[in-house]
Structure 1
Amino acid sequence: MSDYYPPVSFYFTLAFDGIRTANDAAFMEASGMDAEFTTTEIKEGGENRFAYRVPERAKYGNLVLKRGIAPSNSRLAMWCRDTLEGDGAYKIEPRSVQLLLLDAEASPVMAWNFVNAWPVKWSVASFNAQENKLAMETLEFSYNYFTRKMGGR
C-alpha cells in the first residue's frame, strides 16, 4: 500500500457479490459515497435565540456508476435488467458492492462497502452523430448504508 497522500481518484475498481467478470468491475466514474444525518428541530419555550437540532438517522445517497455500454451478456446488466424491467414479477435481489480505490501498484488504498445495494435506475446517454464520444450508460443503486475502510478489502 502506498503512503502517498492524498491518493488519486482515477484508479478504482468495483466488485459485486456473485458477479465476477472483469467487464463488470470497470467503470469510468463512481459517485454517491455520501451520508448525512437528518435532524429534527426542537423549540424550547422561553428560549427565542435558537432551536435545538437533534439527529434522527443517517441518510445515504445513491451509488451512481458510469461506463461504456456493456454487452448484453454482462451479468451486471442482466441483474439490472431483470430488476428494473421485471414489472414487479422479479424478486429484488440486493447485493453487496465494494468500491476499491487503488494506488499505482493496484493495491487497495481505501474501500467502500455498500450493503444491500440494488438497481433503481439505468439510463443511456444520448447519441449524437456530430460528436465522437463513447456510448455511455449510467447505473444507479440504492443501498442501506456504506462502510469505509483504509487499506481496502
Structure 2
Amino acid sequence: MQDPAVGFFFLVEFNGIDDLGANDFRFQEVSGLNSELGVEELKEGGENRFAHRLPNPAKYSNLVLKRGLVTRTALIDWFRNAIENFEFDPITVRVTLLNASTEPLLNWNFVGAYPVKWSVSNLNAEKNEVMIDTIELAYKYFTKST
C-alpha cells in the first residue's frame, strides 16, 4: 500500500530562462494548482422544467510562487522585463512533487507562463521575519503527469 504524498517536498523549474542560479529554484509555497470547467445554461423553448447545462472550456487559476526575497537573479530579470518593459517571453514552468527519496511523484507543466503580478511582504519593524517575494504567473493551460 502506498502512503499518501506529502506537500512539503517539491521542485520548481523554469524552462526557457538562461543562467538561473540556485535561488531561482527555492520556493516555500506553490498554489494555484487547479482548474475548473465553466457551465453554460441553455433554455430550450417549450421545456420549462429544466435548462440544459453545457460545459465551457477549462478556466485556470494563476500559479502563485512564494519564496524568501532575493535580489538580482535571471528569474527576477525575466519578471522585471515583463512588468516594467511590457516585454513578454512565455516559458514552461514545471512543478514536481517529490517523495522522501527525491524521486518525482507528480509533475505539473504550466505552458505559456508569464508574470502578471509581483509583490513583496510588508516591512514591519516589530517583527523578525524573512521578506517574502510573491510571484503570480498566468498561463495557457497545464498538464499533470506521473
The aligned residue for residue 80 of structure 1 is 79
Please state how far the C-alpha of 1:49 moved relative to its aligned partner.
Answer: 2.4
**Corresponding pairs, count:** 144
In the TM superposition, 1:3-152 aligns within 5 A as 4-19=2-17, 20-72=20-72, 74-86=73-85, 88=86, 90=87, 92-150=88-146
Normalised TM-score (structure 2) = 0.93
TM-score normalised to structure 1 length: 0.89
- Structure 1 CA distance for aligned equivalents of residues 48 and 11 of structure 2: 51
- Change in Cα spacing, 1:94 to 1:38, as seen in structure 2 (3 Å) is same
Any gaps of 5 or more consecutive residues in structure 1? Answer: none
Q: Tell me the distance in 1 between the aligned counterparts of 2:34 and 2:47.
A: 34
> What is the deviation of 1:76?
0.6
Identity %: 47
Partner amino acid, structure 2, of 1:64? V
Other structure's SS at 1:85 match: helix
Cα shift at 1:9: 0.1
- The CA deviation at 1:21 is 2.6
- CA displacement at 1:10 relative to structure 2: 0.5
For residue 46 of structure 1, report the CA deviation from its aligned partner. 2.8
4+ long deviations beyond 3 Å:
none
CA-based RMSD of the aligned residues comes to: 1.3
Q: Secondary structure at the match of 2:107?
A: strand
Distance 1:44 1:37 in 2: 22
Q: Secondary structure at the match of 1:44?
A: coil
